[in-house]
């Protein structure tokens, strides 16, 4: 009897032990799966985490294929745009020499003839010289060899030191010193060494177009009126032919040479006026940037930086205090008229308040006595 009880007890203990082992194994498997899930989530988060990620970065990533297509199309169409500039300019010069110059020599007094010949040829030489120099002069690139040049940061695409005011051109696939923009009409970047040639070309081209438009205004009105009269006569001739009646005398018409002359004058005036308006606005825009010591890229970056720093200054401001900015013992490096984004790259997080004060035009005030604020 006792032997049976002992055997039964041993069997029961073995069953309970097996149940406990199975429960522990199931618990250990669930715990292992949970640890693997947490580890995978952590790895994925560490791979995708970026403290600089924002909506602009996400949009840039989504539109990256479009940017790539535009860059490559612009790179290949640069030669076409340069050829187009040469063809249009040559056509205007040909019309001036063939159509306008004979009229000037026949109808104008000697003083005006000398003025038109001197100023017209001088302006043409300035346009040709500055356009050629803007195309052939390299904009300037950072040195590839090791040097003592002060670098603000590292270019993420070139993986090389990027000096102050240098930017990466996605079309040329290189960093450009003091880059303004990539001009498809030059098939070249506008940078440190050819910016003056680009601006001079825009200025003299605008002056030349204004000069041609003003000089040919009277001839343009006569040519336009002649073309309108010709259209009216052609319309009347078609109506008479439809009514099956005939003129006693043939209607007056223009020869091919006269038609080509009138249409060439209209083409010259319309093209010169359009270029003068468009290129004149661009020239004034770049003149304003030059007076401020900025490029077009730096103006865009500085505007965003000022807005960000002003927003940060309002966030850090204490309510009810007159002076919210404190001076920081920092001397800006002598890098010329650099932008606020370059200055911000040289500052530590504790010195951003001075940059915000400069962006808002607020003179930093001395720190008030007392405990240091919490945001310091």
Q: Which residues pair with 151 in a beta bridge?
A: 163
Is 183 noted as a catalytic residue in this protein? Answer: yes
Encoded tokens for 179: 């880059």
- Catalytic residue, from 183, 202, 212, 341: name it: 183
Which residue's entry shows tokens 């003179």? 363
Q: In whole angstroms, give the CA distance from residue 57 to residue 64.
A: 10
Contacts of 10 (CB under 8 A, 6+ apart): none
Least Cα distance to 292 among 333, 332, 338, 335 occurs for 338
Q: In whole angstroms, give the CA distance from residue 257 to residue 243.
A: 31
Q: In whole angstroms, give the CA distance from residue 259 to residue 89.
A: 22
Least Cα distance to 128 among 237, 42, 208 occurs for 208
Q: In whole angstroms, give the CA distance from residue 329 to residue 245.
A: 97
Q: In whole angstroms, give the CA distance from residue 83 to residue 131.
A: 12
Encoded tokens for 309: 């720093």
User: Are 350 and 376 contacting, i.e. CB atoms less than 8 angstroms apart?
Assistant: yes
User: Are 375 and 316 contacting, i.e. CB atoms less than 8 angstroms apart?
Assistant: yes
Q: Name the E strands within the chain.
A: 151-154, 161-163, 166-169, 174-177, 181-183, 188-190
Q: Spell out the long-range contacts of 325-332 with Cβ–Cβ below 8 A and sequence spacing 24 or more.
A: 325/353, 325/354, 325/356, 325/357, 325/362, 325/364, 325/365, 326/353, 326/364, 326/365, 326/366, 326/367, 327/354, 327/364, 327/365, 327/366, 327/367, 328/353, 328/354, 330/354
Other Cβ atoms closer than 10 A to 194: 24
Q: What are phi and psi of 151, to 5 degrees?
A: -110, 135
Active site residues: 183
């Amino acid at each position: 009897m006792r032997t049976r009880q002992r055997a039964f007890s041993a069997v029961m203990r073995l069953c309970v032990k097996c149940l406990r082992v199975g429960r522990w194994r199931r618990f250990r498997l669930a715990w292992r799966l949970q640890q693997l899930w947490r580890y995978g989530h952590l790895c994925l988060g560490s791979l995708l985490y970026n403290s600089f990620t924002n909506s602009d970065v996400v949009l840039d990533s989504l539109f990256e294929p479009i940017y790539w297509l535009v860059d490559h199309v612009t790179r290949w169409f640069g030669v076409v745009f340069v050829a187009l500039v040469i063809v249009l300019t040559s056509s205007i010069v040909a019309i001036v020499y063939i159509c306008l110059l004979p009229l000037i020599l026949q109808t104008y007094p000697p003083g005006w003839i000398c003025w038109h010949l001197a100023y017209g040829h001088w302006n043409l030489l300035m346009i040709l010289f500055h356009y050629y120099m803007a195309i052939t002069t390299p904009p300037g690139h950072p040195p590839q060899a090791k040097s003592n040049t002060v670098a603000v940061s590292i270019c993420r695409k070139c993986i090389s030191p990027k000096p102050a005011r240098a930017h990466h051109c996605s079309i040329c696939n290189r960093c450009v010193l003091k880059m303004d923009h990539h001009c498809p009409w030059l098939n070249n970047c506008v940078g440190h060494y050819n910016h003056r040639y680009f601006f001079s070309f825009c200025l003299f081209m605008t002056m030349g177009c204004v000069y041609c438009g003003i000089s040919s205004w009277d001839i343009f009105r006569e040519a336009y009126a002649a073309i309108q009269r010709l259209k009216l006569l052609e319309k009347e001739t078609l109506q008479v032919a439809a009514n099956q009646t005939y003129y006693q005398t043939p209607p007056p018409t223009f020869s091919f040479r006269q038609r080509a002359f009138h249409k060439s004058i209209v083409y010259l005036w319309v093209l010169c006026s359009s270029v003068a308006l468009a290129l004149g606005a661009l020239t004034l825009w770049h003149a304003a940037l030059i007076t401020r010591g900025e490029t077009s890229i730096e103006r865009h970056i500085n505007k965003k930086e000022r807005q960000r720093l002003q927003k940060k200054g309002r966030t850090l401001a204490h309510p009810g205090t007159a002076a919210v900015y404190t001076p920081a013992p920092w001397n800006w490096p002598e890098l010329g008229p650099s932008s606020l984004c370059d200055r911000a790259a040289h500052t530590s997080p504790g010195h951003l308040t001075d940059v915000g004060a400069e962006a808002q035009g607020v003179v930093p005030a001395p720190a008030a006595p007392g405990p240091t604020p919490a945001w310091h």
